[in-house]
Structure 1
Amino acid sequence: MPKFTEQEKEHIYQCMLTKGKELFIQYGLAKTSIDDIVLACGIAKGSFYKFFSSKEELYFAVLKNEEGVRNQLLSELLREDLPPKERMSSFFHKAYQLADENPFLQNVFQKGDYERLVRKLPEHLQQSSLEDMNKGVEVMKSFIRQGSFRDDDAELAAGVMRAVLMLRLHKDQLGAESFSPIIDKIIEYVSEGMTRPKEPPKEP
């Protein structure tokens, strides 16, 4: 197996991310093979395994790149000069818009790739996904410190946000025409419920 310079390694890695993403968009995770990926990059199959142990690991790397946009969105959410309810609603709508405009993320949700990925990922990468979720918890803690949430449980708040976003997985079951108005209502209710000021305790 040839030895690569650091520059060659970076070139091969980026090629696999780019070509892998194109193939995953076209065929989905299940129907894309490692042979397809190495052929597209013009490398030997053994070279693939110098970077990834499976196509699922490559898929996860592509997904992590796409999630960089999500992290930027979370950062923008903290900076937006809007009332808490409108700021939360804006986040949800932007997140759904990004998913609808991104063909790779559409496949994640529509072709069952997400479920397959979760089943196939090794434990250390599943842990990485958990760490990503913890980033969301930190954002929620920032909102709580700002007094934007009625509750002070950051993990619960992050879990609710994640649950709303995961509804995108069920677009086909809910129906394409019904999905948007349903999600709009859910976002409205959740945003209001999460940000409504706490009621003072009733006097006995």
Structure 2
Amino acid sequence: MSKFTENEREQIRQCLLTKGKELFIRYGFAKTSIDDIVQACGIGKGSFYKFFSSKEELFYYIVNGQEEVRNRLIVEHLQENLPPREMISSFFYLALRLADENPLLQQWFDEGEHERIVRKLPAHLIKDTTRDNVKTGIQFIQSLIERGVLKENDPEVIAGVFAAILMLRTLKERLGHELFPKIMDVIIDCIAQGLTGPEK
């Protein structure tokens, strides 16, 4: 059994992430196989499992590596000079729009697909990623509290509220494409008002 050098391991890992992303976008998660991915990278199927335990794990890493989406959400809103309630509302609307525009996030937020993928992930992976995402979310929330955008509150609780709102995207198919935006309008308005207080 051949062993990879550290440099080779990094190159193969990056190839799996890059080619996996391309194939998931082109064909979708369900229609992309591990065989397709390893063939695109020119490695044996057995080598795949030295890096990822499953196709679901690879997809999870790729989705969580969507830094451009996270950066656009956070950086743009830290630079905005909007009234507090409008800033929080625009954050949620932008997040939902980016989820609808990004083909990987569309697949991740698909209700049925999301459940199937999460079920096959190692528990420690979800726990570790959630912890890291919560840490980033708390830092973002703290910056908004310091700026007076959000009322004083437990940043971890507010970060959880933000995450819960975004996960409602998984219900879009069940609630219906016409009804879902109207439901989100009401929820976002209530949450934005509750987190920022009355308009000055």
Q: TM-score, normalised by structure 2?
A: 0.85
Looking at structure 2, the residues matched to 167 and 92 of structure 1 have their Cα atoms a distance apart, in angstroms, of 11
Does the CA-based 8 Å contact 1:137-1:154 persist in structure 2? Answer: yes
Q: CA deviation at 1:154?
A: 1.1
Does the CA-based 8 Å contact 2:111-2:170 persist in structure 1? Answer: no
Looking at structure 2, the residues matched to 55 and 175 of structure 1 have their Cα atoms a distance apart, in angstroms, of 29
Counterpart for residue 161 of structure 1: 162
Counterpart for residue 75 of structure 1: 75
Counterpart for residue 116 of structure 1: 116
Counterpart for residue 91 of structure 2: 91
Query: Which sections of structure 1, spanning at least 5 residues, go unmatched?
Result: 199-204
**Counterpart of 2:96 in structure 1: which amino acid?**
Y
- Find out whether 1:106 has 2:112 as its counterpart: no
Q: Deviations over 1:152-192 (max 9, x none)?
A: 12122111111111111000111111222222232222112
- Find out whether 1:140 has 2:141 as its counterpart: yes
Q: CA deviation at 1:8?
A: 4.0
Runs of 4+ residues over 6 Å off in structure 1: none
2:29 alignment partner, SS class:
helix
**Counterpart of 2:132 in structure 1: which amino acid?**
E
Does the CA-based 8 Å contact 1:28-1:111 persist in structure 2? Answer: no
Does the CA-based 8 Å contact 1:140-1:154 persist in structure 2? Answer: yes
Does the CA-based 8 Å contact 2:111-2:173 persist in structure 1? Answer: no
Query: Which sections of structure 2, spanning at least 5 residues, go unmatched?
Result: none
Q: CA deviation at 1:5?
A: 5.0
- Find out whether 1:187 has 2:156 as its counterpart: no
Aligned length: 197
Counterpart for residue 202 of structure 1: none
Counterpart for residue 16 of structure 2: 16
Counterpart for residue 55 of structure 2: 55
Q: Deviations over 1:62-114 (max 9, x none)?
A: 11222552144213222211111111111111111111111111111126232
**Structure 1 residues 44, 111: closer, same or farther in 2, change over 3 A?**
farther
**Counterpart of 1:86 in structure 2: which amino acid?**
E
**Counterpart of 2:47 in structure 1: which amino acid?**
S
Q: CA deviation at 1:197?
A: 4.8
Does the CA-based 8 Å contact 1:149-1:197 persist in structure 2? Answer: no
Does the CA-based 8 Å contact 2:111-2:171 persist in structure 1? Answer: no
Q: CA deviation at 1:150?
A: 2.6
Counterpart for residue 36 of structure 1: 36
Does the CA-based 8 Å contact 2:134-2:156 persist in structure 1? Answer: no
**Structure 1 residues 23, 67: closer, same or farther in 2, change over 3 A?**
same
Counterpart for residue 151 of structure 2: 150
Q: CA deviation at 1:7?
A: 5.0
Q: TM-score, normalised by structure 1?
A: 0.84
1:28 alignment partner, SS class:
coil
- Quote the sequence identity (%): 54
